[in-house]
Chain A
């Protein structure tokens, strides 16, 4: 157990070192969520009466800001596993596999690092939101929100690691990831209240872990809860999602890397 922790930390340390050295990447990954919050946030500012009809008092941009924070987390973490493919192609993976560390620690270390990176990116989006005038009633909430983002990202990095370990090529990876990422974001109340979705869409959304994360973070940011879903239920669902994904990811990863690439 102790050595699993140590090995996981070793990989985690390596991934963060690599992230730290890729400063341009940090900014590039912020462009898309920044466009979302600035452009979509203002484009739909006219929907304020609709938002208010479900009990939300603020501006539309304040309603959707938590959605964009989660968008950042989704895409940072679901793209994060791609370097698994590079590692397998360029020998780092073989180096790790012929050393005495456990296979699952490689997956766990990657996922840990991706989650932390995801939270860092998300916190930059919080900064942008504040800069363009989104109010934040309770600044003390920032730490627990980041904790939720880390937890949630852990689950999505699991998806990314599974796809990366199974895919044999970059093309397959990006194909599958793009197929997964956008729908998971769209099929949630990130941009529009759950109550105003058509029934069938709302039903699908309720199967989506992104939904509960968005609702939870929105409640933490604005104090408004929606759809009668309590914070505890949301936290419970996120935890189950994360546990399943982490377990599945380390299992699939271990199985796949034992096959020759």
Chain B
């Protein structure tokens, strides 16, 4: 059984197709990253999967239950940590968790035990009786995540868990996410705009744009599929013609661009190519001044599937569509 599954799922707001016939499945126990530019259909999909919106066409199953006909069972099996902080500022950390425990029908005699456990896990035990108003952004986020975990859901939705946090806090949150994934063995469905985050955490990634899934694969496969690594090299002395002709014979090297003493080498296996380059340069007594190897990043993958155009751009047609959609969402 899949943890999350959509079958030809569409959501229309008037004439605008926010989600356009998407079908994908998330394996049980997976950390699945759901990426896409602003307005691509991410939020709409998450709202459907968490039962906040009804699909227009198609079906969505979460933990085996249909979001339309079995909404209550879906809600019993999910945790949803929203992008913005939803903790009550004037309640203490512990009171917020008590509220969350009651909302999720955790049996009375287990509430305190669960809260103690989770506070330990997110390292907020010593602050539990302080008002949340005194918490930092990172502490609030941890409390939010703790709230989503308290009832040990089968599927945890994390909507941009580290947006607006500093790098130290972001890494800490990643640690927590890995820790809870290991500890509770739950499926995590995560959205993010940080490619580094998706790369760090996710087993597989789906990229959505214009309401359609563009690709689903593991981050490594996606980057490999991008192909070329790039070696940049600066050299002096020696015979450049000779050097180049030797280099061209190395396996894996696809293309070399030459600009005086600077070479840009496209290769499919940079880590094996570099020692060979040094071997040749030593033989020909060419002095290498500097060398660097750059790997394709998930940023490159993302751009290649979604284009460079900024989505909020004020082109006439887009603006009309966007306006119609926002109006629908508010109506």
Contacts and interface: CB of A to CB of B under 8 A. Distances in A.
Interface of A: 3, 6-7, 10, 13-14, 17-18, 21-22, 90-92, 94-101, 168, 259-261
Nearest to B13: A260
A96 B104 CA distance: 9
B38 interface: no
B133 to A, nearest CB: 9
Contact of B88 (A18, A97, A100, A261): A18
Given A98-B51, A260-B47, A17 B90 contact: yes
A95 B76 CA distance: 12
Chain B contact residues (Cβ within 8 angstroms of A): what range?
20 to 34
A94 B86 contact: yes
B105 interface: yes
B99 A13 contact: yes
A261 B105 contact: no
A25 B213 CA distance: 49
Contacts of B95: 17
A96 B88 contact: no
13 contacts: A13-B99, A14-B99, A17-B91, A17-B95, A21-B91, A91-B86, A94-B50, A95-B80, A95-B103, A99-B103, A99-B104, A101-B103, A259-B331
Contacts, number: 71
A114 B321 CA distance: 41
A7 B105 CA distance: 9
Contacts of B240: none
Nearest to A169: B330
B53 A90 contact: no
Given A21-B131, A260-B329, A98 B78 contact: yes
A224 to B, nearest CB: 44
B95 to A, nearest CB: 6
B52 interface: yes
Contact of A10 (B53, B82, B99): B99
